[in-house]
């Protein structure tokens, strides 16, 4: 059990709020959404774009506070790179609509997001006894989810399967009640870790995530069914790239920022690895065809068959794109090691 200062969250207030500019119920259901996917996407993105100027002002105010806090606590290994933060201070409209579609919720808690460096992110006393009071002094407190502070220590046994570690927290501004936007702060070991996160996301995560976004229904898949096997092949691909690339990127970066060790693990793929990867993708494509063949045989509705054929074409194209992009990722790291 983590003990926080008594006065830090003395007011039992639930700061969780809907995001401004999005005029819908918080949770999406089939009954409440009656427009097409394209108009839904356009509506979300236009709403976000209308508020972009306001979000940028809020982001800059938040960054001013982080500048001051980092300066106050610099002797504790805390730093803030504003130039890096300004590269992506507000989530893009496309990212917002994608997240709403995936989560089926209009609550997007990372509209404004940035990164703070703490050399030892494992020091929870530093977080609770120095960082959070310094933020509160300047008008920012942790948002609350189910009456608990919105903070997540994602390291150790809570680290991701890729080996990625961080602390994630979300703040709200208590000085300006009109500012109800949540401000996400990600805490990393340092700039090398931030670069590794960006590289891993760009070269691995974005593509492996796309492999999961097929039209296939994986819920309650029967053992031995096409969808059951597709899901497993995707897991095998994710595991391969996590072990071959992601974990090494994050370990190398942590060694530099936290341990001051420059020696790095080598990222490499053998011919056998690449052959295995090709086999995985060919198996996914074959099982995808089997899945849609079965689904078409279960209906006599011409419109439904037309939709299934369209989904099959879309899914095969997505699978091919993921395969091609991961091949480029392998080539990228091969060239980088030379």
Q: How many domains does the chain have?
A: 2
Q: Are residues 93 and 155 in the same domain?
A: yes
Return d(Cα 196, Cα 183) in angstroms, integer. Answer: 23
Q: Are residues 133 and 228 in the same domain?
A: no
Q: Are residues 63 and 164 in the same domain?
A: yes
Does residue 12 belong to any structural domain of this protein? no
Q: Are residues 162 and 197 in the same domain?
A: no
Return d(Cα 41, Cα 93) in angstroms, integer. Answer: 9
Q: Are residues 298 and 251 in the same domain?
A: yes
Tokens linked to 120? 């030892």
Domain end, chosen from 155, 171, 188, is at 188
Q: Which structural domain, as residue segments, surrounds residue 147? A: 37-188
Return d(Cα 133, Cα 73) in angstroms, integer. Answer: 11
Q: Are residues 222 and 332 in the same domain?
A: yes
Q: Are residues 218 and 276 in the same domain?
A: yes
CB atoms within 10 A of CB 53: 10
The pLDDT score that the predictor gives to residue 17 is: 38
**What pairs with residue 19 in β-bridges?**
none
Domain end, chosen from 133, 157, 188, is at 188
SS3 (DSSP) at 114:
strand
Over the chain (338 residues), what is each successive 10-residue block's mean pLDDT?
Answer: 37 38 42 54 79 89 97 98 93 71 66 94 98 97 94 95 96 86 96 97 95 93 97 98 98 98 96 98 98 97 97 98 98 91
Q: Are residues 133 and 52 in the same domain?
A: yes
Q: Residue 68: which CATH number?
A: 3.30.460.10
Does residue 306 belong to any structural domain of this protein? yes
Q: Are residues 172 and 77 in the same domain?
A: yes
Q: Are residues 112 and 221 in the same domain?
A: no
Q: What is the DSSP letter of 158?
A: G
Q: Are residues 207 and 317 in the same domain?
A: yes
The whole-model pTM stands at 0.82
The pLDDT score that the predictor gives to residue 50 is: 83
């Amino acid at each position: 059990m983590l003990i926080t200062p008594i006065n830090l969250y003395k007011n039992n207030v639930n700061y969780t709020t809907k995001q401004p500019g999005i005029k819908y119920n918080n949770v999406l259901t089939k009954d409440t959404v009656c427009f097409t996917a394209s108009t839904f996407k356009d509506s979300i993105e236009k709403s976000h774009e209308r508020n972009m100027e306001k979000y940028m002002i809020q982001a800059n105010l938040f960054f001013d506070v982080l500048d001051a806090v980092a300066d106050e606590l610099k002797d504790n290994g805390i730093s803030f790179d504003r130039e890096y933060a300004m590269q992506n201070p507000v989530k893009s409209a496309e990212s917002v609509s994608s997240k709403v579609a995936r989560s089926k919720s209009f609550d997007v808690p990372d509209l404004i997001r940035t990164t703070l460096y703490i050399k030892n992110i494992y020091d929870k006393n530093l977080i609770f006894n120095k960082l959070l009071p310094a933020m509160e002094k300047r008008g920012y407190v942790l948002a609350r989810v189910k009456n608990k502070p919105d903070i997540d220590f994602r390291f150790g046994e809570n680290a991701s399967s890729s080996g990625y570690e961080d602390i994630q927290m979300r703040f709200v501004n208590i000085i300006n009640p009109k500012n109800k936007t949540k401000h996400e702060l990600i805490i990393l070991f340092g700039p090398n870790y931030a670069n590794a996160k960006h590289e891993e996301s760009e070269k691995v995560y974005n593509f492996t995530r796309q492999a999961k976004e097929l039209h296939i229904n994986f819920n309650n898949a029967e053992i031995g069914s096409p969808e059951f096997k597709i899901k497993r092949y995707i897991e095998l691909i994710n595991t391969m790239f996590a072990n071959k690339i992601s974990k090494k990127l994050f370990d190398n970066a942590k060694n530099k920022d936290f341990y001051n060790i420059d020696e790095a693990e080598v990222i490499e793929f053998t011919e056998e690895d690449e052959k295995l990867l090709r086999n995985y993708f060919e198996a996914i494509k074959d099982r995808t065809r089997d899945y849609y063949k079965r689904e078409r045989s279960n209906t006599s509705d011409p419109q439904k068959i037309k939709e299934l054929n369209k989904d099959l074409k879309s899914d095969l194209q997505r699978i091919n794109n993921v395969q091609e992009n991961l091949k480029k990722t392998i080539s990228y790291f091969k060239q980088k090691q030379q």
